[in-house]
DNA sequence: GTCTATAACCGGATAGAC
DNA sequence: GTCTATCCGGTTATAGAC
């Protein structure tokens, strides 16, 4: 069993676990401070006080250090979301809170995320959000959206309700894509996009839930299922 | 004036133009045959029979060789589209032809496109389809879509008509994103997605063109304008 | 001023000794 | 489990040839 696999398990006590944590925390700090490209593996090793080879012993590649970022970013988002959601019950309101907290908790990593995205976009990369390797993180994020929908007072037909979290996840990915490219002060443009698409999406859900829209809705949902 | 700039101009006759072409054709061939990562700058230079330094004299970086791919891919698509469009007049039909020819003409570059996408996803990269540097290629592609719409018999209100080509370009990007990740035989899944979203998009355009949808349409169009 | 070649540098990744 | 020595490929510096 490689240390990479072992890390996925319990052990905070393991022999090398100390070293592993040290390397990981050092890397995340440097990524945040200096960005991805500027943080070389040599620098991470040096700063952590271990050898280059040793860093590679614990992390198969530089990319593997990023998995930790995903997980951490998700945790921070969920925590912020729980408190911010309060007793908001409209779908539009809940979606707005969801996407705003996502933007807020990601802000510190904006620069890093841009460079990261380059790697994540590679279809061969396990970091790519559509990959099998990312399915755990992806399904977790979709699960969060399912709770956002289920906690709302929106009346959504069962067929749409089943697919809606996945569709909303794609909306989230779209907003993130925009955010990554957003150079505006305080990410103002992304915030505008986020708020207004949250409203728009809620309206579309309402329209799509109308019985008159059933044929079109069926067509779209079948397509999604087929193509997934 | 650097040779990179000069190349953008007329000269097929210039003294180094021969060398430039040779390097470019060699690179495109190798990219297609072996993929992007496997085609090293050293290999390109060697295969073309020039020195490594010489290759860098003509192309500032490996990425710059890709600009040529964009242009070529577009040319091939437009050519195929013109003949395939025939006298198709329905919007759904024209969109289907558009997207099918795109998939067909891109197929030879599938592997290459995946690796390319990694670089293109970087917000800092001039290759990124949303960047200023790509605006010429992007606007050309949007122009093609405007012709696809204008040649159809669909009745589209002026406000939507103005934005539609840009929206369709985003649809195209989405399909390409899916295509890049598509490992299915003969890219069957992308073809299904393409055909069926073409139909769906045409239906959505019809619905959005309905006077009853005017408020929602306005809302969406204003959002797009604000956020562009 | 136009072009070509050689020798480096730098950072991700690996091999293998201890 | 940790290290040192190396490889490999993108990129740059630079010396000069035509």
Burial of A158 (0-12, 13-18, 19+ CB in 10 A): exposed
Residue B125: per-residue pLDDT: 77
- Domains of chain A and CATH, by start: 1-60 (1.10.10.60), 62-227 (1.10.357.10)
**What mean pLDDT do residues A24-36 have?**
91
Instruction: Label residue A26 exposed, middle or buried (CB < 10 Å: 0-12, 13-18, 19+).
Output: buried
Res A7 pLDDT > 60 = no
pLDDT at A108: 86
Q: Three-class SS of residue A228?
A: coil
Average pLDDT over residues B152-177: 94
Cα angle B78-B159-B199, degrees, rounded to a multiple of 5: 50
Give how far A36 is from chain B: nearest CA, Å. Answer: 12
Q: Look up residue B107 and give its DSSP letter.
A: G
Structure tokens at B41: 């700058």
Match 């996407």 to its residue by tokens: A99
User: Residue B15: what pLDDT?
Assistant: 67
Q: Which residue has the higher pLDDT, B132 or A185?
A: A185
> Distance in angstroms, CA of B134 to C1' of C2?
30
Q: What is the Cα–Cα distance from A196 to A90, expressed in whole angstroms?
A: 15
Residue B8 has pLDDT above 70, yes or no: no
Q: What is the pLDDT of residue B13?
A: 53
Mean pLDDT within A28-53: 94
Any idea what the Cα angle at residue A116 is, between residues B27 and B132, rounded to 5°?
60
Chain D bases near protein CB atoms (7 A cut-off): 1-6, 8-15
Mean pLDDT (whole number) for A182-200: 94
User: pTM for this structure?
Assistant: 0.84
The residue behind tokens 């006590």 is A13
**pLDDT (average), residues B143-155:** 96
Q: How far apart are CA A81 and CA B164, in angstroms?
A: 35
- Alpha carbons B105 and B113: distance in angstroms, whole number: 12
Residues in chain A: 228
- pLDDT exceeds 90 at position B82: yes
Inter-chain touch A123–B130, beta carbons under 8 Å: no
């Amino acid at each position: 069993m490689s240390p990479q696999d072992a890390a996925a398990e319990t052990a905070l006590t393991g022999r090398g676990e100390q070293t592993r944590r040290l390397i990981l925390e050092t890397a995340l700090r440097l990524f945040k401070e200096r960005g991805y490209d500027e943080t070389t593996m040599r620098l991470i090793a040096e700063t952590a006080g271990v050898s280059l080879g040793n860093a590679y012993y614990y992390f198969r590649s530089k990319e593997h250090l990023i998995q930790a970022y995903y997980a951490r970013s998700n945790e921070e988002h969920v925590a912020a979301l729980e408190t911010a959601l309060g007793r908001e019950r409209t779908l539009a309101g809940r979606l707005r809170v969801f996407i705003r907290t996502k933007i807020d908790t990601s802000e510190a990593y904006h620069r890093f995320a841009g460079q990261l995205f380059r790697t994540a976009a590679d279809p061969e990369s396990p970091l790519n959000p559509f990959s099998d390797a990312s399915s755990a993180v992806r399904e977790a994020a979709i699960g969060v959206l399912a709770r956002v929908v289920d906690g709302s007072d929106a009346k959504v037909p069962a067929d749409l309700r089943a697919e809606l979290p996945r569709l909303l996840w794609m909306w989230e990915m779209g907003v993130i894509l925009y955010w990554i490219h957003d150079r505006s002060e305080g990410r103002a443009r992304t915030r505008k996009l986020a708020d207004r698409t949250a409203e728009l999406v809620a309206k579309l859900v309402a329209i799509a839930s109308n019985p008159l829209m059933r044929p079109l809705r069926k067509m779209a949902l079948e397509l999604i299922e087929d193509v997934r």
